[in-house]
Amino acid sequence: MGHDSKLRGVLAPVVTPFGKNLAPDAGRLVDHCRWLLSQDCGLAVFGTNSEANSMSVDEKIDLLDALVEGGIDTGRMMPGTGACAIPDTVRLTSHAVRRGCAGVMMLPPFYYKGVSDEGLFRAFSEVIERVGDSKLKIYLYHIPPVAQVAITLPLIERLLAAYPDAIVGVKDSSGDWSNTEAMIRTFPGFLVFAGSETGLLQTLQAGGAGCISAGANVNAPAIAALAANWQSPDASAAQEKITGLRTTMGRYPMIPALKATIGRHLEDPAWLALRPPLVELSRTQRDELAADLDKLGFNMPGLRQQASAHAVAT
């Protein structure tokens, strides 16, 4: 098994900016995606940290179109397309394939709990058959702490046997290294991504593909550098520094903290907006987070220049 793909290394589940009326802000999203690409970070738009399940299929289709029209490289894009309703998954997945996305990241239907591997196989099978496009490349999204629906090794084995050209990888956000390692070991050539940058080096050393992680939204330069140089003598020290930053960010609600950090570096308070039920960090929390990051010497090189360049162009 082997798949040529530009979707290796580091991808960010790109945070979604919203306007005052809580409509998705396509301009700011294009800016942020351009900065991420400039740091050699791929784009897993519509992931967990994108607040994807707080957006409609129509909104995601419109944003995807805006990214394409904004010149964002779809060869580095893996939009999340999984939904509870099969027709929603099919519609968004089909659109992503038509727009040239290199792959899609697909949650299982997650509302009903305690479902069987048979039921999940049928759900993924329905999507693949209905999309009916040989260009479809699916990265399964295993996130049992949130979805409460697991993608097991036997299910992956069955999907690979039935759809070897469509099922190409997985994001493992279980937080269980033994599970990630088993996926890498059991399915050679299958593209296994860790769900956090804290496990990036370990994943690459075991033969995995990289990580798809929230922290890449703000720390893409360091994480991408580790992915590119994981065999270097200072890789362990680089991983330790990356893990330290993620630990600091993890003291706060993650999505509001990511947006607060981006907004601070851009001096753009519009980035603080989240869709309910999520809420922004308090002023005190934002100040504490900023102080914590300053102690680590954290910065986001080139972020303001990228946003300014886009503003001038439009």
Does residue 76 belong to any structural domain of this protein? yes
Residue 277: asked if its preceding bond is cis (omega within 30°), the reply is: yes
Does residue 199 belong to any structural domain of this protein? yes
Angle of CA points 15, 228, 196, to nearest 5°: 40
Angle of CA points 302, 33, 13, to nearest 5°: 115
Does residue 168 belong to any structural domain of this protein? yes
- CA neighbor of 232 nearest in space, from 257, 201, 256, 211: 201
- Total number of domains in the chain: 1
- CA neighbor of 138 nearest in space, from 60, 88, 79: 79
Does residue 248 belong to any structural domain of this protein? no
For every one of its 314 residues, what pLDDT tens digit does the chain have, with 9 covering 90 and above?
445 467 899 999 999 999 989 999 999 999 999 999 999 999 999 999 999 999 999 999 999 999 999 999 999 999 999 999 999 999 999 999 999 999 999 999 999 999 999 999 999 999 999 999 999 999 999 999 999 999 999 999 999 999 999 999 999 999 999 999 999 999 999 999 999 999 999 999 999 999 999 999 999 999 999 999 999 999 999 999 999 999 999 999 999 999 999 999 999 999 999 999 999 999 999 999 999 999 999 999 999 887 765 453 43
- CA neighbor of 292 nearest in space, from 240, 259, 226, 247: 247
The answer for residues whose C-beta is within 8 angstroms of residue 253's C-beta and 6 or more apart is: 278, 281
Cα 255 to Cα 278: distance, rounded to the nearest angstrom: 8
- CA neighbor of 185 nearest in space, from 203, 166, 167: 203
The answer for residues whose C-beta is within 8 angstroms of residue 112's C-beta and 6 or more apart is: 149
- CA neighbor of 47 nearest in space, from 63, 23, 68: 63
H-state helical runs in the chain:
26-38, 57-69, 86-98, 117-131, 144-147, 153-162, 177-186, 200-205, 216-228, 235-249, 254-266, 283-295, 303-313
Q: What is the pTM of this model?
A: 0.94
Does residue 272 belong to any structural domain of this protein? no
Which pLDDT score is estimated for 306?
79
- CA neighbor of 24 nearest in space, from 36, 15, 35, 12: 15
Other CB atoms within a 10 A radius of the CB of residue 182 amount to: 14
- Furthest CA-CA distance within the chain: 53
Number of H helices, E strands in the chain: 13, 7
Which pLDDT score is estimated for 308?
60
Does residue 274 belong to any structural domain of this protein? no
- CA neighbor of 124 nearest in space, from 76, 161, 176: 161
Q: Residue 132 belongs to what H/E stretch?
A: none
The residue range of the domain holding 144 is 9-232
Q: Return the CATH number at 108.
A: 3.20.20.70
